[in-house]
């Protein structure tokens, strides 16, 4: 059996995602040797960001404008489209000569020149935005795509999949991707959809492959559809596009699916599978959770690591799956993983060494929801004992045990930055969120990071139910502390509160001062709810506060590189420290010579 695993747009171009390398390694470990994986997000970006492709888009835009000139239409939508195309036609000629240089700058030492870095990101963003004007009102950047179609409505999605005028991925796949998929003649195609921005690109790809060869079994996995199990059951039309969905974790599920398709084709044997049989949608339960200590080191072979927009690879790695805390009232991560599990430290160290040697990089990003404190201690100790030159970052919680001694050990082991979910710096709001953290601990941990030399990123949430404007401003005032702004690598990203499907807050709305919660009409694949509040900021007031806070942060914090990409920030922090060390070493040598 030939297996082809695909990661569709849109995702950040700085580093690969972990899902396909984990699946590829497991399939190979268990005897499925003919496995190929492709990151179509970075492949397509590499194709689009060329003079040739920009020129072809430019010519098509000119042709489109000529055809529009022959039509007497004066609707506002028509005029807006015309203006957007004119703007693109004026902008692209100057961009097309710069776009390849910009792309290559981010892959070279020029990446570390902040002025060139910012200019390159801007050129890439503007090139893609103007090229996608051809598909107005749809738009595309290097990190996202947007259409008029709701990804939460199956009806909208089905319309988008066939819309040649607005679905940019139809054109891109047909021109650049489909022929190579056909030539590889896979028996099974797995598509990983881990973010809502990948829904339309991913399902467009699935439909095109299915139209090309109905015998190919197409299965879709990833966290998006894991959150939509009951919705899938009610949306029969999805099975005209794909044959099955794998929910929760995919290693054993995909392996067994391949075996069954190559044998008795008894899909009841495949764990975590949703499929149609005799016109009935079936869900294979109980859901299977992987033993992390039996999984192999991820395999990135086949991913074009040289095409990512960074001069050296930053590889994702996991110490655990699930969240060990699991009590935050706004969070529905329990829908991604059934329970919390850890990988043994000796296996993690083997992973790090093997990946570092094979892919020639010392840079790693622990992608856990929160790395447990004991695991931080053990991994740091292991790296120190091995004396490897590894640079790493990861997500953690504000815990009492994250003290100065541990932070110093982490720094010595190569930790450059930590990512915290602060959410709020008001204790009442934190308690209502059930974050389980205290503001004095937050301050002490961050002071400890500064002392140890570890940078940090803070996520904050604006508009949690009952939060007042003053309480939101307390969080803003805290993250704008001078010592944080002056520290190397500091970054902060606010988000507007959204009520996510099946989060604890939805089970007891009155506890959170909510008058009502409502699902949006027509969104049969909805992942959240609208709500009305009894107290605190209304959703509209919260949105205004969110934009105000974004504006204030942007005055103090340049988004590049630390807010633009956490992995880019890891490279920058290390580079600056190395430069400073080199300067200090030169000064020392001068002093000794004198």
Q: Any idea what the CATH number is for the domain that residue 572 is in?
A: 3.80.30.20
Residue 288 lies in a domain: no
Mean per-residue pLDDT, 31-54: 98
Q: Cα separations (Å) of 284 from 232, 233, 269, 489? A: 13, 12, 8, 46
Q: What is the pTM of this model?
A: 0.96
pLDDT > 70? residue 482: yes
pLDDT > 90? residue 73: no
pLDDT digits (tens, 9 = 90+) for 131-141: 999 999 999 99
**What residues contact 12, with CB distance under 8 A and at least 6 apart?**
142, 143, 565, 567
* Location of structure tokens 């400890």: 448
pLDDT of residue 520: 86
Report how far residue 247's alpha carbon sits from residue 592's, in angstroms, rounded to the nearest whole number: 63
pLDDT of residue 392: 98
Q: Is the dihedral of CA 341, 346, 348, 351 positive or negative?
A: negative
pLDDT of residue 198: 98
Say which DSSP state 268 is in: G
On whether both 165 and 73 belong to a single domain, the answer is yes
Residue 152 lies in a domain: yes
200 within 8 A of 147, measured Cβ to Cβ: yes
Number of structural domains the chain divides into:
2
Report how far residue 455's alpha carbon sits from residue 588's, in angstroms, rounded to the nearest whole number: 26
**What residues contact 578, with CB distance under 8 A and at least 6 apart?**
none
Q: What is the DSSP string of 23-40?
A: HHHHHHHTT---EEEEEH
pLDDT-based confidence at 590, cuts 50/70/90? Answer: low
Mean per-residue pLDDT, 96-104: 97
Which residues constitute the domain of residue 425?
312-500+537-581
pLDDT of residue 589: 54
pLDDT-based confidence at 404, cuts 50/70/90? Answer: very high
Mean per-residue pLDDT, 515-531: 92
Residue that is last in its domain, among 283, 303, 321: 283
Say which DSSP state 298 is in: P
Of all residues in the chain, the percent with pLDDT exceeding 90 is 93
pLDDT of residue 70: 85
Please report how the helices 51-69 and 76-96 are oriented relative to each other, as an axis angle in degrees rounded to 10. 150
pLDDT-based confidence at 358, cuts 50/70/90? Answer: very high
Report how far residue 545's alpha carbon sits from residue 134's, in angstroms, rounded to the nearest whole number: 34
On whether both 206 and 343 belong to a single domain, the answer is no
Q: Pairing relation of β-strands 491-496 and 391-396?
A: unpaired
| 3-class secondary structure, 462 | strand
Mean per-residue pLDDT, 537-545: 97
Residue 363 lies in a domain: yes
pLDDT > 70? residue 12: yes
Residue that is last in its domain, among 283, 303, 332: 283
pLDDT digits (tens, 9 = 90+) for 421-453: 999 999 999 999 999 999 999 999 999 999 999
The dihedral over CA atoms of 368, 371, 377, 381, expressed in degrees to the nearest 10, equals 10
pLDDT of residue 306: 97
pLDDT > 80? residue 356: yes
Q: Pairing relation of β-strands 273-277 and 280-283?
A: antiparallel
pLDDT > 80? residue 101: yes
Residue that is last in its domain, among 262, 283, 304: 283
On whether both 359 and 412 belong to a single domain, the answer is yes
pLDDT > 90? residue 118: yes
pLDDT digits (tens, 9 = 90+) for 362-384: 999 999 999 999 999 999 999 99
293 within 8 A of 344, measured Cβ to Cβ: yes
User: Average pLDDT of the chain?
Assistant: 95
Residue 442 lies in a domain: yes
pLDDT > 60? residue 593: no
On whether both 462 and 554 belong to a single domain, the answer is yes
pLDDT > 70? residue 472: yes
pLDDT > 80? residue 407: yes
On whether both 273 and 335 belong to a single domain, the answer is no
Produce one character per residue of 230-265: b if its CB has 16 or more CB atoms within 10 Å, e if not.
ebbeebeebbebbbbbbbbbbbbbbbbbbbbbeeee
Residue 567 lies in a domain: yes
Q: Which of 272, 295, 323, 583 is nearest to 435 (CA)?
A: 323
On whether both 77 and 209 belong to a single domain, the answer is yes
On whether both 276 and 321 belong to a single domain, the answer is no
557 within 8 A of 6, measured Cβ to Cβ: no
On whether both 275 and 381 belong to a single domain, the answer is no
Q: Cα separations (Å) of 391 from 156, 342, 369, 529? A: 44, 21, 19, 40
* Location of structure tokens 């953690």: 396
On whether both 336 and 249 belong to a single domain, the answer is no
138 within 8 A of 172, measured Cβ to Cβ: no
On whether both 83 and 15 belong to a single domain, the answer is yes
pLDDT-based confidence at 71, cuts 50/70/90? Answer: confident
Mean per-residue pLDDT, 499-526: 92
Q: What is the DSSP string of 322-391?
A: S-SS---TT--GGGT-SS-EE--HHHHHHHHHHHHHHHT--EEEE--SS--HHHHHHHHHHHHHHT---E
Written as six digits, the tokens of 319 are: 């110490």
pLDDT digits (tens, 9 = 90+) for 152-165: 999 999 999 999 99
Residue 472 lies in a domain: yes
pLDDT of residue 443: 98
Q: What is the DSSP string of 391-448?
A: EEEEEE---TT--HHHHHHHHHHTEEEEEEEEE-S-HHHHHHHT----HHHHHHHHHH
pLDDT of residue 591: 53
Q: Which of 248, 200, 244 is nearest to 223 (CA)?
A: 248
Mean per-residue pLDDT, 190-197: 97
pLDDT > 80? residue 97: yes
pLDDT-based confidence at 584, cuts 50/70/90? Answer: low
| 3-class secondary structure, 283 | strand
On whether both 319 and 183 belong to a single domain, the answer is no
Mean per-residue pLDDT, 39-56: 98
pLDDT digits (tens, 9 = 90+) for 233-265: 999 999 999 999 999 999 999 999 999 999 999
Report how far residue 110's alpha carbon sits from residue 170's, in angstroms, rounded to the nearest whole number: 34
Residue 458 lies in a domain: yes
Mean per-residue pLDDT, 276-294: 96
| 3-class secondary structure, 502 | coil
Residue 428 lies in a domain: yes
Report how far residue 329's alpha carbon sits from residue 512's, in angstroms, rounded to the nearest whole number: 10
pLDDT-based confidence at 333, cuts 50/70/90? Answer: confident
pLDDT > 80? residue 337: no
On whether both 478 and 425 belong to a single domain, the answer is yes
Taking every pair of C-alpha atoms in the chain, what is the biggest distance, in angstroms?
87
């Amino acid at each position: 059996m030939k297996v082809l695993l695909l990661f569709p747009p849109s995702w950040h171009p700085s580093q690969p995602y972990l899902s396909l390398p984990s699946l590829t390694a497991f399939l190979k470990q268990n005897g499925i040797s003919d496995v190929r994986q492709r990151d179509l997000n970075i492949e397509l970006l590499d194709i689009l960001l060329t003079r040739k492709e920009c020129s072809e888009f430019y010519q098509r835009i000119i042709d489109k404008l000529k055809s529009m000139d022959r039509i007497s239409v004066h609707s506002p939508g028509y005029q807006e489209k015309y203006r957007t195309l004119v703007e693109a036609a004026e902008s692209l000629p100057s961009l097309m000569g710069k776009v390849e240089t910009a792309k290559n700058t981010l892959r070279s030492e020029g990446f570390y020149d902040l002025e060139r870095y910012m200019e390159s990101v801007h050129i890439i963003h503007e090139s893609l935005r103007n090229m996608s004007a051809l598909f107005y009102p749809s738009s595309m950047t290097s990190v996202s795509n947007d259409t008029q179609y709701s990804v939460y409505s199956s009806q909208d999605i089905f319309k988008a999949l066939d819309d040649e005028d607005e679905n940019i991925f139809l054109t891109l796949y047909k021109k650049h991707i489909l022929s190579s998929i056909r030539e590889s003649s896979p028996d099974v195609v797995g598509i990983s959809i881990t973010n809502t921005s990948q829904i339309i690109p991913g399902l467009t790809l699935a439909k095109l492959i299915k139209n090309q060869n109905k015998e190919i079994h197409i299965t879709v996995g990833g966290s998006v559809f894991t959150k939509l199990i009951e919705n899938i059951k009610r949306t029969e039309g999805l099975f005209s596009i794909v044959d099955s969905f794998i929910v929760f974790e995919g290693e054993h599920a995909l392996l067994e699916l391949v075996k069954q398709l190559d044998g008795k084709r008894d899909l009841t044997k495949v764990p975590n599978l949703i499929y149609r049989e005799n016109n009935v949608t079936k869900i294979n339960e109980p859901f299977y959770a992987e033993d992390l200590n039996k999984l192999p080191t991820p395999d990135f072979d086949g991913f074009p690591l040289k095409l990512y927009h960074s001069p050296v690879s930053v590889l994702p790695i996991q110490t655990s799956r699930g969240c060990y805390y699991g009590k935050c009232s706004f969070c529905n991560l329990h829908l991604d993983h059934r329970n919390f599990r850890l990988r043994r430290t000796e296996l993690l160290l083997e992973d790090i060494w093997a990946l570092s040697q094979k892919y020639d990089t010392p840079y790693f990003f622990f992608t856990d929801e929160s790395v447990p404190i004991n695991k931080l201690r053990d991994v740091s100790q292991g790296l120190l004992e091995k004396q490897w030159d590894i640079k790493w970052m990861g997500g953690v919680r504000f815990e009492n045990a994250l003290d100065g001694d541990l932070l110093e050990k982490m720094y010595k082991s190569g930790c450059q930055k930590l990512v915290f979910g602060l959410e709020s710096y008001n204790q009442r709001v934190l308690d209502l969120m059930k974050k389980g953290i205290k503001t004095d601990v937050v301050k002490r941990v961050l002071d400890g990071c500064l002392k140890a030399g570890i940078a940090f990123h803070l996520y904050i949430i604006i508009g949690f139910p009952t939060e007042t404007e003053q309480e939101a401003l307390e969080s803003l005032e805290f993250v704008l502390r001078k010592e944080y702004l002056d520290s190397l690598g500091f970054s902060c990203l606010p988000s507007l509160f959204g009520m996510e499907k099946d989060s604890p807050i939805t089970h007891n709305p009155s506890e959170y001062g909510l008058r009502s919660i409502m699902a949006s009409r027509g969104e049969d694949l909805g992942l959240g709810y609208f709500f009305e509040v009894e107290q605190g900021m209304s959703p509209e007031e919260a949105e205004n506060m969110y934009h105000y806070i974004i504006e204030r942060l942007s005055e103090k914090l340049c988004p590049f590189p630390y807010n633009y990409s956490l992995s880019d920030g890891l490279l920058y922090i290390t580079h600056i420290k190395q430069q400073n060390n080199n300067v200090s070493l030169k000064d020392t040598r001068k002093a000794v010579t004198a």
